[in-house]
Structure 1
Amino acid sequence: MDGQNAITADLGISGMHCATCAGTIEKAVGVLDGVSHASVNPASEKLRITFDPNQVTIQSIEDAIKKAGFDPVPEKLTLRISGMTCAMCVQAIEKTLKSLPGVSAASVNLGTGQAHLAFYPDIQTVDSIRQAVRDAGYQATGLEGDDASGLYEEEAARDLRNKLHRSIIGFAVSALLMLLMHLQPPLPLPMPVLLFLITTPFFLYLAYPIVFAAVRSLRHGILDMDVMYSLGIGTAYVASVFGTFGIFLSADFIFFETAVMLTAFLTLGRYLEARAKGKAGEAIRALISLQPKKAIVIREKTEIEVPLEEIVPYDLVVVRPGEAVPVDGVVMDGESHVDESMVTGEPIPVFKSRDATVIGGTISTTGVLTVCATRVGSDTVLARIIRMVGEAQASRPKVQRIADRVVSYFIPVVLSIAVFAFLFWYFIAGSPLLFAVTALIAVLVVACPCALGLATPTAITVGVGRGAELGILIRNGEVLERSGTITTVAIDKTGTLTAGRPVVTDTIPYSCTEEELLSSAASVEKQSLHPLGMAIMHEAERRGAPIQEATGFETFGGLGISGSVNGVPVLIGNRALFDSRSIQIPKSALGAIVRSETDGKTVVLVAMNRGYAGCIAITDPLKPTSAAAVSVFQDMGLQVVMITGDNQHTAQVIGERAGIRRILAGVLPGEKAGEVSRLQEQGEVVAFIGDGINDAPALAQADVGIAISGGTDVAVESGGVVLIHDDLIDAAAAIQLARKVMGRIRGNLFWAFFYNILLIPIAAGLLTPFFGVTFRPEYAGLAMALSSVTIVSLSLLLRGYNPPALQAREIPDQ
């Protein structure tokens, strides 16, 4: 390896547990060509590596780490990019960024003007990444979320005004030129010369941004739409100049007004497109605006104002009426109604008092709160929502990758068609040179890969943003794509269909008193975090039953637990556990158990000294909207399956109340993923809905994992979709939103392809022999402008989309 090219860097790695893990990673990476040194520090979870970027890429190193069973942890960066005009610009910037050593992934969104990167700062700095963008001929205006991003907004506003100003001038000048040509007033100068003198300064002013961008692209070896448009308007202007002065061409070729009007239409199209694209990103900008820049904290008994980034966990933050809560935290003092609508979508302000949790970005409306910060900066719920929405908007579903491949061939094909049209009409058909030139210009101008490039990202940007407004967080575009093809919805019972707050309804002793039964069970369950165990604990506390220290605590995954209370062995669990321990349930006790199960209750069996002592019946009621949500799923043509650890009898009762016909009962927590896999083997596209923690394997196994976070943890890693509200209705709304977005993407792509397939042949003169129709270049420019604007406008309609499922909240649970 050439030592002069060697790079030494520290790469973050997650998933390590011991020194053996370190050795595994070192071995996996060390065998790569170009790697001269690899050592892992398990304590810091860092891989120090020395490698030659000419021999091995960072992507290859990451792949080796992943194959070894671990995950590389690059830094994430979002840049604001200006100067992009079409899908070819996107491909050029992505190619530039991905070629940089230390950049492992790069995705550019034309709709939002953002570049999302994964990189290693030890290898590639932010400044060097920005410089690479500038070297490619574009501007990296600022980092998303930092103060410099405000410069992007100002620059974008100036650019919009500039485009509007140029287009107005262009139309005014072209109107003047047409008026002069129509009236033919007596003038001291020949009319062609006067038209030349009027047109030239305005044409240069109007065309400069397009021609400058084209020169920049050619300098970097890129054929994009600016090159094609420059050829079109340049041909119109140069032909007019030649016709004016009789250089090769006659006065028939004087169409200065066409050159100016064409440039005005192109500029107007970009103005309208830029305005529409700006609206596409309004949802995430609204979320970012919720973060205050400063906050008041109490330090040494004094209130001081500090920048948001200086707040640390356990700081006391003062929030006055009308102010945004700057951090996630717990109310230590004060009372207020807090408006959470912008974060959770909850329309009614929520009353908060001491010990209540608050979310950063929400607004205190009526009182002063003193909040103890628990999560700050990038760890807050709002920051996670912004990050997830941004990453989703940057992602590319399969359908967009197909469109990108089409775009990469588009411009060479269009250039070939334009040249062929000119050669055919002039040399083969014998048409006048003027007509052949007109066809050439019209083809160059009417072609629009921008519509193809915008069809998917604008719909995803608006759709994901709309989801965030509704409390539906979609992780990426592929999740959207898969969500649109779901055939089966598998729902975990506890905490998803039901409220997740079980309560004891009956204590049924057999060989002891009620108090002894409840006391012994609660004493063992005290060491368990299972919801049923906590229900038993709460009931014992409510009744005043003594809760003692248990010893020898042991769990049996999904079956039950055991321990000793005052030297007496206590076993708590279901029938399967009792059968495995050969503990008989007396026939006289079975009647009470069956009656409880018939009522839909979960029955917890208790044994003492290896003999049946009694049972405790627990109920976990359905959420108010669960039955309505199931009905919505079924109306959407989806099969609904309930997965539960309850026995078949109890599960059947709960399923009937919810309206679910297919029940998978007796499924242990570790077996849920297997049940999802079996459904997939039957050809079903499965969405699994669970709580995101206990159900992580099943969420990961499903084609689409939908995690209900309850508004407190939107960083659920296993969920492709995360629901902020603890409401199953939102899962149905998420699928409806995904279907709507994918339908809009398909519609956008259809119109983009249809537009180009229809108008390029017409511009080339296909209709001329049959109908005598000539597609004038200025009309081609107008059509091109309208195509991109139409695509973006269709995507913007998603901003007002309300999934029909949300109306089901008003339907009472049956």
Structure 2
Amino acid sequence: MSAATTLTLKLENLSCASCVGRAERALTAVDGVESAPVNLANETARVAFSGPATASKLTDALDRAGYPARRETVVLEVGSMTCASCVGRVERVLTGTPGVLEARVNLASERAFVTYLAGAISPDELAAKVSKAGFPTHPRADATSKGPGDKEAEAQALKRKALLAAALTAPVFILEMGGHVFPAFHHWVARSIGLGTSHWIQLILTSLVMIGPGRVFFSKGVPALLHGAPEMNALVALGTSAAYFYSVVSVLAPGILPTGTANVYFEAAAVIIVLILIGRWMEARAKGRTGEAIRALVALAPNDALVDVDGQTLTRPVAQVVTGEVVVIRPGERVPLDGEVIEGESLIDESMITGEPVPVPKTKGDCVTGGTVNGTGALKARVTAVGPDTLLSQIVRMVEDAQGARLPIQALVDRITAVFVPIVMGIAALTVVVWLLIGPDPALGLALVAGVSVLIIACPCAMGLATPTSIMVGTGRAAQLGALFRRGDALQTLQSAEIVAFDKTGTLTQGRPEMTAFEAADGFKDEEVLAMVAGAEAQSEHPLAQAILRGAEDRGVTPAKVRNVQTVTGFGLHAEIDETQILVGSQQFMAREDVPLTDLVDRADPMRAKGHTVFFVALGGQLAALIGVADPIKPDTAPALAALRAMGKQLAMITGDDPATAAAIGHQLGIDHVNAGVLPDGKVAAVEALHNKFGKVAFVGDGINDAPALARADVGLAIGTGTDVAIEAADVVLSSGALSGVVNAFEISRRTMTNIRQNLFWAFGYNVLLIPVAAGVLYPVWGILLSPMLGAGAMAASSVLVLTNALRLRFVRPILEDAT
């Protein structure tokens, strides 16, 4: 029986002794729990358990009982990871720690995203456990990404090691390989310094390489071997040690080796270390560029702000500014923090956050976002958010969370790399045995070369980098184009969506109705009738009334003074002016009030066909005018839908609007499937119906009533100008209100997944093809045996190639620019 584990859990919703009893019963009902006393005062449960109970089973039981254990998430900065095997080892250390519910490790960003039970363990304890396993780790202290200086310093350190190793290796390589290339050089060495002296020089210089720049492979690889978790460093340590110690025996005690096999391979051991260090140097440089998009976002926030204090302008660090203070934003400066304009007018360039190239006008009452660039006007703004609450900080966290995600495609990589290194070691051992049994003379030397080549060439670095580097660069580029992936797996799901469904109001349309037409009947003057209607509508808060008022204002018409305004719900309104009765409402309202219908009614049909809502005006019992009101389609809606159709996507509209209006809008925009007149739960049913009929559904919406559909869709995309509820329910947030962001999100998703598949094809294909070559399958036919040095070069090149391919995503161009 396994020893009991004790966890202290912080519980929520505890309010009385009954709650304590229910929580205790829920915990003790889990098979394997020995005791679970719950303390109401400090709201904790101390649970002693053993198998088959697990932390996940305990939290599930508490969730069902209504007293969930508090979860927290920490980001750990993990050092010294070099390959997919390292990632697996770190994840095993974390997930094997009591209290940890989930751990995702990203090789490209060198971070671990850990969800754990509050009270069961601390971030410092988690970091200590990973550090003890050989990967120096510390919790991330703030919300910003690693600065470029971190990666630059690492690259410079690797560069110094590589150059030192190269300087020590160059004489070894020349002394040994020079003689193979130029036989005359071999004879000159033999005559001048002697082969024995040459071998001693090689031994000394290679020893310096091994214990100097190459020490890192042994300090990490040997402990990994001893722990039964071999990884890349272990393969390099085994390969170079085999070549080195065989050569040492050949120099110091050649008599113990079979006749003719006392050869030296110092150059192989030294050059392998040089090439892999150069590869790691190039990797560090490339990794430093994978997070450039996020660092660029972080760099948008200025360090200082001009604060207005009692009429005096003081310069203060942004970190010391608090909400409610007033900041001064001079022309051309960046906005220091989120705020509300209280004075001044200007244009703000928000393209760095929204992707929209056109500056946005700002005046009193408008919101400004920290990091955006002020135009030629001066502004004063009252600060509304600071620190992690600013929009810029939220965007950075959102993108970093997506970058740390594990895509479904990663599961394949994980399964393979979990067994890859042990299999490679087995293949290398088998290779040596086969060469010793059936290989030609000198069999021992050839067996050593083949075995070392297999170990070196098979390092799974490229496999570990293939997916996370593409995710990092792709999500960063998406953020620059105005599409923020809140969930990383949406990056994979979005490109496979078969149909894109849209809400209408505020998504396809502006979300604010406008008066599109006003036509007076014969015998009536437009301005006089419109003034009366505006006067009546001025006393209503209805959006359609406000649209008519704005229309009158645009036409320079002043509302007339009317009295006795009465609303008839669902139909229209009554009013009076100078003893004349005014009626404004639908055609049914006119018929109900016995107003004779004239040919003016016929003019309404073309408007209705375009999706406009039509009202009529009657003065003194006569039909006097008709009014057309519509919610204008956004300028970029038609181009965005056309681009999605060109991608092969089906289009749908799900709206609570009138079916006739929705049908007209759908026909105008070329939408394939229109579902109108639905309530929020009806939108969920409509999404499910589309999913059952077509496959994966992406839903685009902006309102509170869209939140259920956004959550139900395979991928939910929320318009960034929409409600917080909608944004929280979405997988992707479009930071501007433009639908061009939908198209660009699809393009980034498609390009990123293509990039990942290219990386995986290369990473897996490289190993599948070259491991047999390294083992010597070509030797019997063509006499080709891959040199360990070439294997090391190919292995280093494979990782650099994967990183370089991922970096191409930085240059993805938007399919559509914002048309607003």
TM-score, with normalisation over the residues of structure 1? 0.85
Match for residue 109 of structure 1?
Answer: 106
> Is 1:187 aligned to residue 206 of structure 2?
no
Match for residue 291 of structure 2?
Answer: 281
Match for residue 48 of structure 2?
Answer: 52
Determine if contact 1:174/1:257 at 8 Å carries over to the other structure.
yes
In the alignment, which of 347, 361, 375 is matched to residue 371 of structure 2?
Answer: 361
1:74 and 1:565, CA in 2 relative to 1: closer, same or farther beyond 3 A?
farther
Q: 1 CA distance for matches of 2:517 and 2:149? A: 66
Determine if contact 1:336/1:353 at 8 Å carries over to the other structure.
yes
Judge which range, 481-490 or 684-693, deviates more: 684-693
CA apart distance, 1:179: 2.7
CA apart distance, 1:213: 1.2
> Is 1:671 aligned to residue 696 of structure 2?
no
> Is 1:655 aligned to residue 666 of structure 2?
yes
Provide the identity percentage. 36
Q: 2 CA distance for matches of 1:316 and 1:20? A: 50
Aligned residue identity for 2:372: T
The one-character-per-residue Cα deviations of 1:415-467 (angstroms, maximum 9, x if unpaired) are: 11000010011024455110001111000000032211111111111100000
Counterpart secondary structure, 1:716: helix
Q: 2 CA distance for matches of 1:437 and 1:211? A: 19
> Is 1:136 aligned to residue 142 of structure 2?
no
Map 1:750-761 onto structure 2 (within 5 A). Answer: 750-761=761-772
Judge which range, 460-469 or 652-661, deviates more: 652-661
Determine if contact 2:9/2:69 at 8 Å carries over to the other structure.
no
Match for residue 461 of structure 1?
Answer: 472
CA apart distance, 1:477: 2.7
Question: What RMSD, in angstroms, separates the aligned Cα atoms of the two structures?
Answer: 4.2
Match for residue 618 of structure 1?
Answer: 629
Counterpart secondary structure, 2:776: coil
Determine if contact 1:385/1:714 at 8 Å carries over to the other structure.
no
Determine if contact 1:30/1:38 at 8 Å carries over to the other structure.
no
Determine if contact 2:9/2:45 at 8 Å carries over to the other structure.
yes
> Is 1:123 aligned to residue 120 of structure 2?
yes
The one-character-per-residue Cα deviations of 1:678-733 (angstroms, maximum 9, x if unpaired) are: 11111332111111533111111211111111399698112111111211122112
> Is 1:79 aligned to residue 76 of structure 2?
yes
Determine if contact 1:80/1:144 at 8 Å carries over to the other structure.
no
Q: 1 CA distance for matches of 2:292 and 2:378? A: 30
Aligned residue identity for 2:169: S
Determine if contact 1:312/1:373 at 8 Å carries over to the other structure.
yes
Map 1:695-710 onto structure 2 (within 5 A). Answer: 695-710=706-721
The one-character-per-residue Cα deviations of 1:67-92 (angstroms, maximum 9, x if unpaired) are: 46897663332222211111111122
In the alignment, which of 159, 166, 171 is matched to residue 171 of structure 1?
Answer: 166
Match for residue 232 of structure 1?
Answer: 239
In the alignment, which of 630, 641, 654 is matched to residue 641 of structure 2?
Answer: 630
In the alignment, which of 739, 744, 747 is matched to residue 736 of structure 1?
Answer: 747
CA apart distance, 1:469: 0.7
Counterpart secondary structure, 1:682: helix
Match for residue 399 of structure 2?
Answer: 389
1:476 and 1:653, CA in 2 relative to 1: closer, same or farther beyond 3 A?
same
CA apart distance, 1:749: 0.9
Match for residue 335 of structure 2?
Answer: 325
Match for residue 524 of structure 2?
Answer: none
Q: 2 CA distance for matches of 1:573 and 1:777? A: 87
Determine if contact 1:714/1:724 at 8 Å carries over to the other structure.
no
Match for residue 499 of structure 1?
Answer: 510
Q: 1 CA distance for matches of 2:776 and 2:520? A: 92
In the alignment, which of 417, 421, 424 is matched to residue 407 of structure 1?
Answer: 417
Counterpart secondary structure, 1:119: strand
Tell which structure's C-alpha radius of gyration is larger: 2
Map 1:584-623 onto structure 2 (within 5 A). Answer: 588=597, 594-603=605-614, 617-623=628-634
Aligned residue identity for 2:158: K
CA apart distance, 1:30: 6.9
Counterpart secondary structure, 1:52: strand
Determine if contact 1:335/1:352 at 8 Å carries over to the other structure.
yes
CA apart distance, 1:748: 1.1
Aligned residue identity for 1:464: T
The one-character-per-residue Cα deviations of 1:515-574 (angstroms, maximum 9, x if unpaired) are: 998777775x63x7xx557546767998647799999999xxxxx7999999xxxx9999
Number of residue pairs matched by the alignment? 778
Counterpart secondary structure, 1:107: strand
CA apart distance, 1:319: 3.3
Aligned residue identity for 1:158: A
Q: 1 CA distance for matches of 2:64 and 2:574? A: 45
CA apart distance, 1:212: 0.8
Match for residue 526 of structure 2?
Answer: none
1:535 and 1:202, CA in 2 relative to 1: closer, same or farther beyond 3 A?
same
Match for residue 345 of structure 1?
Answer: 355
> Is 1:162 aligned to residue 157 of structure 2?
yes
Counterpart secondary structure, 2:705: coil
CA apart distance, 1:327: 1.8
> Is 1:211 aligned to residue 218 of structure 2?
yes
1:447 and 1:692, CA in 2 relative to 1: closer, same or farther beyond 3 A?
farther
CA apart distance, 1:124: 2.5
1:545 and 1:135, CA in 2 relative to 1: closer, same or farther beyond 3 A?
farther
Q: 1 CA distance for matches of 2:435 and 2:118? A: 57
Q: 1 CA distance for matches of 2:127 and 2:571? A: 58
Determine if contact 1:596/1:617 at 8 Å carries over to the other structure.
yes
1:499 and 1:423, CA in 2 relative to 1: closer, same or farther beyond 3 A?
same
Match for residue 557 of structure 1?
Answer: none
The one-character-per-residue Cα deviations of 1:8-55 (angstroms, maximum 9, x if unpaired) are: 443467xx99999999878756744366245789xxxx9643333657
Judge which range, 103-112 or 419-428, deviates more: 103-112
Aligned residue identity for 1:198: L
CA apart distance, 1:790: 0.8
Match for residue 427 of structure 1?
Answer: 437
Determine if contact 2:478/2:744 at 8 Å carries over to the other structure.
no
1:61 and 1:548, CA in 2 relative to 1: closer, same or farther beyond 3 A?
farther
Match for residue 36 of structure 1?
Answer: 36
Aligned residue identity for 1:598: A
Q: 1 CA distance for matches of 2:35 and 2:25? A: 11
Match for residue 10 of structure 1?
Answer: 10
Counterpart secondary structure, 1:171: helix
Q: 2 CA distance for matches of 1:362 and 1:477? A: 26
1:309 and 1:772, CA in 2 relative to 1: closer, same or farther beyond 3 A?
same
> Is 1:244 aligned to residue 243 of structure 2?
no
Determine if contact 2:776/2:785 at 8 Å carries over to the other structure.
yes
Aligned residue identity for 2:467: T
Aligned residue identity for 2:247: S
Determine if contact 2:71/2:116 at 8 Å carries over to the other structure.
yes
Q: 1 CA distance for matches of 2:607 and 2:546? A: 19
> Is 1:271 aligned to residue 281 of structure 2?
yes
Judge which range, 302-311 or 658-667, deviates more: 302-311
1:501 and 1:222, CA in 2 relative to 1: closer, same or farther beyond 3 A?
same
CA apart distance, 1:142: 5.4
Counterpart secondary structure, 1:806: coil
> Is 1:371 aligned to residue 378 of structure 2?
no
Determine if contact 1:714/1:722 at 8 Å carries over to the other structure.
no
Q: 1 CA distance for matches of 2:584 and 2:10? A: 50
Match for residue 500 of structure 2?
Answer: 489
CA apart distance, 1:298: 3.8
Match for residue 256 of structure 1?
Answer: 266
Determine if contact 1:136/1:220 at 8 Å carries over to the other structure.
no
5+ long unaligned stretches in structure 1: 555-559
5+ long unaligned stretches in structure 2: 180-184, 522-528, 577-582
Aligned residue identity for 2:61: A
Aligned residue identity for 2:174: L
1:733 and 1:156, CA in 2 relative to 1: closer, same or farther beyond 3 A?
closer
Aligned residue identity for 1:278: G
1:157 and 1:355, CA in 2 relative to 1: closer, same or farther beyond 3 A?
same
Match for residue 322 of structure 2?
Answer: 312
